[in-house]
Amino acid sequence: MNLNLQVNDNILISIKRIGINGEGIGYYRRLAVFVEGALPGEEAEVRIVERKEGYAVGELIRIKKKSRHRVLPQYPLMLECGGCTLQILDYPEQLKEKQNMLKEAFARYYRGELDVKVFSETIGARETWGYRNKTQLPVRHDGEKVVVGMYQHGTNRLVYLDEYSLENRIVASVLKDLLDLLTKNNVSVYNPRIRRGALRNIIIRGFEETEEAQVTGVLAERDGKVLKVLKEALKIKYVKSVNYTLNPDPKTVEIITGEVINLAGEKKIKGKLGHLDFLISPSAFFQLNTKQALALYEEVKKQANLQGTENVLDLYCGIGSIGLYLADKAKEVRGIDNNPENIKDAGEFAQLNGIKNAKFYAGEILPLLQQFEKEGFVPDLVIVDPPRRGMELDILNYLRKSKIRRIIYVSCNPSTLAKNLDHINRNYEIEAVVPVDLFPNTPHVECVVLITKL
């Protein structure tokens, strides 16, 4: 390894793969160099801008040899914001690279035996833009009108948006009309520099399947005029629900930190997920790409291969969507989540669809698992869909010692997935790893993994 590589050195490297943040990764005398905007197969001239123990970060100066899969970005602004970094790669190649990201994660963190044949091709999306059913954006006043934006990658500078490339047609339409309404009424908009003003963020959720939308304003302080104008958003096409919440903390990274209060219209909006109808509140978690969520759930159903006699346990269940999607093929479904509001929504979700063989429980997972065991509820299949940080150690240890035969792990983070499965690799073997692309043009990859007891 070249220990003399310094900041501002110019080097020529070959890019071998894509990292989890969408950056190209090459090697200079075995030292990993991360280069934003570079693609596998390219030779790039790079200036070193950061040098750390074990790796370096390079700035792309010139591409000496270009990848045949490189394409012009459809929305260059989204590159500046650090979101859709893979839009410079043609879509079929994006799907291959997402499969490679999973393989790389397992190669690095999984020490058990693993046949490469367990990795399926990535399930791609028909629509690679305009797929998000929810957006939450900071609000500013540009001197003439109320605008929204995204933060420039690695900075706190807001880049104003004049087109909405990721949002579905319902969300994009409501966002445009809402900004016009706010501008027309000259509402108080939050200025982070002086920490004054009222409206900080706009959250819009909209479902194409039902053509219903929900607007939520996030305010730094209660402002009667802003609330009055937000109420008028109920007149905007598709809007069925208008809400607000207060978030006075200028340093918080969370957008919704307090109670969400209904201002006008319904408290929840209607959506559809395949054969299921659902009602969703402003703070409830739901997959951002409805069509690809359906593809994901279909893959879960395929891997579950239920015969109608099985008990299914859904951990980190959220509003219960995965468990309920499988309920018609199961004997009984139980779901656990530590968010009481999610569990309340899950119960209503089941009731709305007339599902009587599903029950949902609020609380910590391990005590409830132990309670179910004492009650004699033995799951034939466990589904886990944890947050990005993965599963807690106590849950992994429980599963390792349990008699549960089959587990389906739904993951949004290849690294924590591989680490979690490595922890139980002596007790379970991996049968299938199926990547699903929920977020085209971004480096994010979800996957469905089936593991069975040895």
8-state DSSP, 122: P
Helix (H, G, I), strand (E, B) or coil at 247: coil
Using CA atoms, how far apart are residues 32 and 35, in angstroms rounded to an integer? 10
The encoded tokens of residue 431 equal: 């049968």
Using CA atoms, how far apart are residues 216 and 261, in angstroms rounded to an integer? 9
The answer for 320, left when phi > 0, alpha when psi is -120 to 50, beta otherwise, is left
| One-letter amino acid for residue 11 of the chain | I
Q: Are 55 and 33 in contact (CB under 8 A)?
A: yes
User: How far is CA 26 from its chain centroid?
Assistant: 27
Q: Are 262 and 231 in contact (CB under 8 A)?
A: no
| Residues in a beta bridge with 203 | 136, 216
CA-nearest of 449, 446, 454, 404 to 428 is 454
Using CA atoms, how far apart are residues 276 and 270, in angstroms rounded to an integer? 11
| CB atoms inside a 10 Å sphere around CB 130 | 14
First to last CA, the chain: 41
Q: Is 84 an annotated catalytic residue?
A: no
HSE-CB at 107 with a 13 A cutoff on CA atoms is 8
Q: Exposed, middle or buried: residue 7 (CB in 10 Å: 0-12, 13-18, 19+)?
A: exposed
Given 84, 317, 412, 447, the catalytic residue: 412
Q: Exposed, middle or buried: residue 14 (CB in 10 Å: 0-12, 13-18, 19+)?
A: middle
> Please, where are the H alpha helices in 89-243?
91-109, 169-184, 224-232
Those residues whose C-beta lies under 8 Å from the C-beta of residue 417, and which sit 6 or more positions away, are 102, 105, 390, 409, 411, 447, 449
Helix (H, G, I), strand (E, B) or coil at 157: coil
Using CA atoms, how far apart are residues 212 and 190, in angstroms rounded to an integer? 28
Q: Are 292 and 437 in contact (CB under 8 A)?
A: yes
| Residues in a beta bridge with 251 | none
Question: What positions carry a catalytic annotation?
Answer: 412
